[in-house]
Structure 1
Amino acid sequence: MSYAGQELQLRHGMALAPRLQQSVKFLQMSTLEFQQAVRRALETNPFLEETEPESDPVAACADIALVTAPAPGGELLPAGPAEPADTPDEPPPPDAPYPGDYPLPPASGDLDPFAHRPERLSLHDRLFSALGTLPLSERDRLLASYLIDSLDLDGYLRHPLDSLAEDGAFDPPATEAEWHTTLRLVQQLHAPGIGARDLRECLMLQLQARDGAGDPAHRLAMAIVDAHLLRLARNDWAGLRRVLGVDGKVLREACDLIRTLDPKPGLRYDDSPISYPIPDVVVDKVGAHWRVRLNEAAMPRARLHHQYADWFRRARGGNREPLQRELQEARWLIRNMEQRYATILRVAEAIMLRQRRFFDYGDVALRPLMLHEIAADLDIHESTVSRATAGKYMITPRGLYEFRHFFSRELGTEGAGSCSAGAVRALIQELIQAEDPAQPLSDVDLTRQLARHGILVARRTVTKYRGQLKIPAVELRRVHD
């Protein structure tokens, strides 16, 4: 190849790089991150405009084409016609005037500055507000401010008192007695339990705030919280009765009282936004067939602003490079959006075909599946499958699942077959749900039960899978009379 040809190829590759980089970036984003990225582009690029949503976006996605051919044995519903990947620009009306200046980006939103929006006060705001009502010296107020600033989201003070203020903050330096006195003040500013340094102190503060004079259950609850929380966590009823010398009725009343306490009282004031997973695709069943659809309700709606694009093409003079770059980026964004949707849909459909029995029978029917198998099915790179499954979700009749839920390594069985790690976890959960609460299954027992089903795994593997299911050990599951 000549030098000129190499240079042309190099320049051509360099021209494609930004679009390819954006395509990869879009694919690996979660739906929420992708929505935010498109929203930023709509607000800054004058050649993009937001389209109007369908009247019924969930129903509209029923006609999306399923672009993956069925695997052997797979059955799919007929797909509707697909939209063209790149819609050509539509010419403007003949009498459309050219404004002659830079097209303005769309407004970020028509917000009413006088509209009332209720504000939720954070824990720190509430404590500082209560602190401001007290007649304190400047030194005591500053000590309390350091303590309030050091509380975490749970409402706990997890730092040593002598480390809260930097050297030289107080003259003379604050004593340990001052810190403790101020801490007791902060603990009484708002909800009981705020300002505790550990779980025992948090629960004790809440019990002390209740009027339990003359109540045996209240006194017993304070004794349990003060010295026997570990036994309570292990459900060691026999041990509690023995060391406390009480009968079962009062013990149950005391434990019921403890269960009404809040171990993390600060969380009720947490004003950080809650992030919920958004399904990228919808899997449902029509008759005997499963189908996969894009969740159009979660898809950002952007398209090329054809009027502005045509005005720019007809404009003459001036420096066209900035606008040309904006127009090119708008085209790239639209095409990369479409590429993201197509790839996620193809991967989701391939997963559905490989894991069809899961949709019929649940986790126990999960088969071993690796990323490279889906990549081979779709003739794409394994890294593309990895990006298309990371942080992506599908809503199914069985619930909301991350794409990665369907990928699980292969485990050997007694015969010639195999099963997935996900299926083993599901079997462990079923066995524990069916156990006798008075005689729960140990990890050794679970290993033997799995072996009776023809699944040979080590006891440490069972322990690991039980931990992944967030199921307590056998000592904590045992129910005592």
Structure 2
Amino acid sequence: MRQGLQLKISQQLTMTPQLQQAIRLLQLSTLDLRQEMIEQLYSNPLLEMDEDIPESPGQDADPTTSESNQVAEAERNSEQNPEYEWNDEIPKDVPVDANWDDVYSPPTTAASSSGGEVNLEQVFQVTESFQGHLEWQLNLTPFSDRDREIASAFIDSIDSSGFIAAELSDITAHIHYDDIEDQLHEDELVAVLHRLQQFDPPGVFARSISECLTIQLNQLSPETQYLQSAKHLVDGFLQDIASVDSARLAKKTGLEINELQGALQLVRGLNPRPGESLSSNDVEYIVPDAYVEKIKGRWRVKLNDSNMPRLRINDSYSSLIKRSDSSDQNQFLKDNLAEARWFLRSIESRNETLMRVAMTIVELQRGFLDHGPVAMKPMVLSDIASKLELHESTISRVTTSKYLATPQGIFELKYFFSSHVSTAGGGECSSTAVCAILKELIGAEQPEKPLSDSKLTSMLEQQGIQVARRTVAKYRESLGIPSSSQRKRF
């Protein structure tokens, strides 16, 4: 093999840090982008808040007015109301025990004096935990020190649903006494457990579903109708309650049909997971990235930038940069200036791409905006990519974790992309539209005679939609709708 040198020209795509930043900003949601902009604002001295942007006419005014506006308002109010005036005469020598409010009392605002509405979004409610609620009841219940220690162990071992899954002896295994006669016994543990089972919410400290329902039934009034029949079902026929054959279940339990239906209705009103009623779940609110509304017969798209900080280049620092200076301070300013410019350019490019994608989706899905999911058209990423001359990966990044607020509700942008099924006329129908039609058909069925998957398939064929029975079953399960046998009512 002979060695040699040769020149070769080639092109390759290099992922520069600026390009990586632009791609990362493209797939951030509105909340994540806001956090990223705040971090850049704190880390880059060449960025500053742009507070000189004029306020839009439809935007609510800032409640914190400027100092000059407050003074002018105070002067106007002092002319109209003599009591509303500033106390300009402040004594030079104020006693030590004097109250500052008695000497200098600025006027109160109209909102505070008129008792305006409280902004509930600024009120934070501290909700106690499930175990804290039980411990509060324990402190109000007369227990001996020995029983209170056992009860505390039971409270620590309870799960989020309100059940005790472990054995009572295992829960209290850490409790030891020096005297053998003072050791804990099973009867003592059960006695403490029965007292705890009277706590709120009803059904807590149960060791099984049957015991949980029995505790709730025992707390009902003895005059409750069908109470004994409900206890009979819970004790021996809990697995058969979901049966759809009422005649067979009545024969098995020895109850009349009317009595069986009343007992079942009473059992269904119980809570099989009492602890979940007190569990604190943090609600995550969705902030839409864009809004769409109909103005003069045309759908308009508007980006949601109400909570976005408006950034700009700091003129004071940028003017200090000297092109011929190579000092460390000047190089530091140059690097941050280039980074700030690229960051603002990337945000602008991200918003422009998101706007184009949202407008194209709205243009193709006008039927959905006018008539709902039934009129959804089949659409894939390549449809938007070819229309905007972008790559499918770019469309995928733009539609990830982005939400669009429509008159039909708030939907993720990926919701508008769906597969298609064939129609009798040779066209295509969106799978989302098929699911919406199935939901309407099942919602209009008779409870005594629910529609089977085969019947739903034939009804869709009558509307020109050709789908297989297994496809109907798949769509039905994706909607969380049980089968026809499970939907049947007595």
Q: Which moved more, 1:324-333 or 1:421-430?
A: 324-333
Matched with 1:368 is 378
1:325 and 1:174 map into 2 onto residues whose CA distance is 73
Q: Is contact 1:393-1:403 (8 Å) kept?
A: yes
Matched with 2:128 is 121
Matched with 2:227 is 218
Matched with 1:35 is 34
Instruction: Give 1:274 shift.
Output: 0.3
SS of 1:216 mapped into structure 2: coil
2:337 and 2:213 map into 1 onto residues whose CA distance is 61
Correspondence for 1:344 among 350, 354, 369: 354
Q: Is contact 2:50-2:312 (8 Å) kept?
A: no
| TM-score, length basis structure 1 | 0.72
Instruction: Give 1:280 shift.
Output: 1.5
Q: Is contact 1:231-1:240 (8 Å) kept?
A: yes
2:199 and 2:270 map into 1 onto residues whose CA distance is 18
Q: Deviations over 1:61-101 (max 9, x none)?
A: xxxxxxxxxxxxxxxxxxxxxxxxxxxxxxxxxxxxxxxxx
Correspondence for 1:468 among 478, 484, 490: 478
Task: Give the residue type in structure 2 aligned to 1:391.
Answer: S
Q: 1:384 to 1:222 in 2, by over 3 A?
A: farther
Matched with 1:300 is 308
Instruction: Give 1:458 shift.
Output: 2.0
Q: Which moved more, 1:265-274 or 1:181-190?
A: 181-190
Q: 1:264 to 1:311 in 2, by over 3 A?
A: farther
1:383 and 1:417 map into 2 onto residues whose CA distance is 28
Task: Give the residue type in structure 2 aligned to 1:436.
Answer: Q
1:207 and 1:360 map into 2 onto residues whose CA distance is 50
Task: Give the residue type in structure 2 aligned to 1:424.
Answer: V
Alignment of 1:12-411 (within 5 A): 16-17=16-17, 19-42=18-41, 45-50=44-49, 118-131=125-138, 135=143, 137=145, 141=149, 144-145=151-152, 147-157=154-164, 159-161=165-167, 169=174, 183-184=193-194, 186-210=196-220, 212-234=221-243, 236-247=245-256, 250-297=259-306, 299-304=307-312, 306=314, 309-310=317-318, 313=321, 319=329, 328-411=338-421
Instruction: Give 1:321 shift.
Output: 6.1
SS of 2:226 mapped into structure 1: helix
Q: Is contact 2:456-2:472 (8 Å) kept?
A: yes
1:429 and 1:322 map into 2 onto residues whose CA distance is 62
Q: 1:279 to 1:178 in 2, by over 3 A?
A: farther
1:59 and 1:249 map into 2 onto residues whose CA distance is 61
Q: 1:468 to 1:328 in 2, by over 3 A?
A: same
Correspondence for 1:419 among 409, 422, 429: 429
Task: Give the residue type in structure 1 aligned to 2:481.
Answer: I
SS of 1:296 mapped into structure 2: coil
Task: Give the residue type in structure 2 aligned to 1:306.
Answer: N
Q: 1:269 to 1:214 in 2, by over 3 A?
A: closer
Matched with 2:76 is none
SS of 1:284 mapped into structure 2: strand
| TM-score, length basis structure 2 | 0.70
Q: 1:416 to 1:261 in 2, by over 3 A?
A: same
1:116 and 1:176 map into 2 onto residues whose CA distance is 48
1:457 and 1:257 map into 2 onto residues whose CA distance is 41
SS of 2:292 mapped into structure 1: strand
1:178 and 1:331 map into 2 onto residues whose CA distance is 74
Instruction: Give 1:153 shift.
Output: 3.6
2:416 and 2:123 map into 1 onto residues whose CA distance is 46
Q: Is contact 1:147-1:164 (8 Å) kept?
A: no
Instruction: Give 1:276 shift.
Output: 2.5
Instruction: Give 1:137 shift.
Output: 4.6
1:473 and 1:326 map into 2 onto residues whose CA distance is 62
2:332 and 2:191 map into 1 onto residues whose CA distance is 64
SS of 1:262 mapped into structure 2: coil
Q: Is contact 2:213-2:272 (8 Å) kept?
A: yes
Q: Deviations over 1:22-44 (max 9, x none)?
A: 33223323333333444444455
Unaligned runs of 5+ in 1: 1-5, 61-114
Instruction: Give 1:122 shift.
Output: 1.5
Task: Give the residue type in structure 2 aligned to 1:291.
Answer: R
Q: 1:152 to 1:365 in 2, by over 3 A?
A: same
Q: 1:138 to 1:467 in 2, by over 3 A?
A: same
Instruction: Give 1:197 shift.
Output: 4.4
Instruction: Give 1:129 shift.
Output: 3.8
Matched with 1:452 is 462
SS of 2:405 mapped into structure 1: strand
1:296 and 1:465 map into 2 onto residues whose CA distance is 37
Q: 1:474 to 1:311 in 2, by over 3 A?
A: same
Let me know the Cα RMSD of the aligned residues.
Answer: 4.1
Higher RCO structure (Cα 8 Å, ≥6 apart): 1
Task: Give the residue type in structure 1 aligned to 2:127.
Answer: R
Q: Is contact 2:169-2:186 (8 Å) kept?
A: no
2:206 and 2:23 map into 1 onto residues whose CA distance is 47
1:116 and 1:276 map into 2 onto residues whose CA distance is 16
Instruction: Give 1:450 shift.
Output: 1.7
Q: Is contact 2:247-2:257 (8 Å) kept?
A: no
Percent identical residues: 36
1:260 and 1:28 map into 2 onto residues whose CA distance is 46
Q: Is contact 1:57-1:296 (8 Å) kept?
A: no
Aligned residues: 414
Q: Deviations over 1:382-432 (max 9, x none)?
A: 111112112222121222222122111122233422222112212211211
Q: Is contact 2:203-2:215 (8 Å) kept?
A: yes
Instruction: Give 1:351 shift.
Output: 1.4
Q: Is contact 1:411-1:420 (8 Å) kept?
A: yes
Instruction: Give 1:230 shift.
Output: 4.7
Instruction: Give 1:265 shift.
Output: 2.8
Q: Deviations over 1:100-147 (max 9, x none)?
A: xxxxxxxxxxxxxxx996422111222334445664557963x65554
Q: 1:295 to 1:402 in 2, by over 3 A?
A: same
Q: Report the structure number with the largest CA radius of gyration.
A: 2
SS of 2:299 mapped into structure 1: strand
